[in-house]
Structure 1
């Protein structure tokens, strides 16, 4: 006899979440027990969509897969979920009165990645972050019933944008290898960097002085996002404040890891050590208002 398909879907969501070390720690240690499975369900949606966007064989294949994923999402919010993780998502939507817009924004950003590989200005990149990162924070605030204040939503956006940008500066070489440059073109020109120089740096696995200076500038700008958003930690339920401190601390630790390799991001991908990760979790566990 087959098991309950909803429970099977929830088990799959837990498996996806627990396969990522830091996310498992957050979900298992910092969240109230009643919220763990719902957060697994949301995470599984985001993880699966991200994998469709980045691991499909071609951009065309990714767009087809994301289109099918969008159709399943639409059906789920209409009360007719497809199999798999959408059954778990359908169980999560009603009790938290989740809105579809943030989910749509995420998928829209993933589709954009298939055809836009360059950004002209900082504002253009931040608009991408508004759809690729900020929706996750807004979903979390909704689940915590802490999204009725525009100030809190704006503070959440600051942290989420900071996390997305820190990831970009960490993965400059990796993104370039798949044809993407997230550093705004206007910033590259301002620091005197051409795309042909990227080719040379990628080939030689080295970062020239101009790009190092630019990455340093981007890290300093990104750090300000975290500091502007941190007051949110004291405005939300305590469990969420601890989680936010962990995520923001992880973003700041990523920037520190970039600094620790002297911004040589084309030679080596900077990583936050397991020791630092554990220290961040411990700090979040003992944090008090």
Structure 2
């Protein structure tokens, strides 16, 4: 799970149908191309982590991406990263953020994540979502301190919303991202994803996580308010779209059976018009 988050992410569905795609289309060409390079990188490593191939092969494939990133920053990029050299130099993208994304994807590979403690969940969110944000805010042209702060809060807000939205989908993959502490407080001792997804007390786990996501959205909004509208247009669109998803989840509730939620076409257009054009 990453760049809608983390590209519909992570900020996935196909890019052409995502809020990520809509937000990126409003950017000037160089920024847009840089963001789609970041998206492509995330998509490639995410596909490895989510594949059903042998775990040892997936670990080896992720290690090859690490080696390729190191080669890129040493001045001799492999063919699949050759076009990234100019983007890295132009926007000052940091090697450690690319590597953090790989590390985040790898957290699901040796064994599927099941009921991580809160510290591990936060580390996962930082790697698969906030690290993407740290690359992105460089492209958007935000000041260093506020850019890192926005990436921290918006990345976590998006990823927590993804986790709450995808409980049943993740259970089908054998994964459970809800925090162990919350499960135990709700009297849930199992870490079997399919079993947890049907627990009667599951809303007691999800609602505090939704409140945490709301606080991150609010703090991200505060950062964006004090920065240039042009610099924060794309992250604001992503934030508003995902906040709408969170609101739909809260209105639906988290008790089983859960129907999928989707932001309607008119609502998506309204967000785009308000924050991209008006």
Q: In the alignment, what sits opposite 1:145?
A: 141
2:216 to 203, 225, 250: 225
Larger radius of gyration: 1
TM-score (norm 1): 0.82
Deviation at 1:97, TM superposition (A): 2.1
Write out per-residue CA displacement over residues 91-143 of structure 1, whole angstroms, 9 at most, x where no aligned residue: 21111122201001000111111135134432221122121111111112222
Call closer, same or farther: CA 1:172–1:17 in 2, change over 3 Å: closer
**Structure 1 regions of 5+ residues with no counterpart?**
1-15
Call closer, same or farther: CA 1:95–1:120 in 2, change over 3 Å: closer
Alignment of 1:40-51 (within 5 A): 40-51=36-47
Write out per-residue CA displacement over residues 50-69 of structure 1, whole angstroms, 9 at most, x where no aligned residue: 11111242332321211112
Establish whether residue 243 from structure 1 lines up as the match of residue 234 from structure 2: yes
Q: In the alignment, what sits opposite 2:125?
A: 129
TM-score (norm 2): 0.85
SS at match of 2:83: helix
Alignment of 1:98-113 (within 5 A): 98-113=93-108
> Structure 1 stretches (4+) deviating beyond 6 angstroms?
none
Q: Distance in 2 between matches of 1:239 and 1:265?
A: 42
SS at match of 1:195: coil
RMSD of aligned alpha carbons: 2.4
Q: Distance in 1 between matches of 2:37 and 2:181?
A: 39
Q: Distance in 1 between matches of 2:94 and 2:239?
A: 25
Call closer, same or farther: CA 1:166–1:97 in 2, change over 3 Å: same
Q: In the alignment, what sits opposite 1:24?
A: 21
Alignment size in residue pairs: 265
SS at match of 2:246: helix
Call closer, same or farther: CA 1:250–1:58 in 2, change over 3 Å: farther
Q: Distance in 1 between matches of 2:170 and 2:153?
A: 23
**Structure 2 regions of 5+ residues with no counterpart?**
1-12
Establish whether residue 257 from structure 1 lines up as the match of residue 248 from structure 2: yes
Deviation at 1:25, TM superposition (A): 1.5
Establish whether residue 169 from structure 1 lines up as the match of residue 169 from structure 2: no
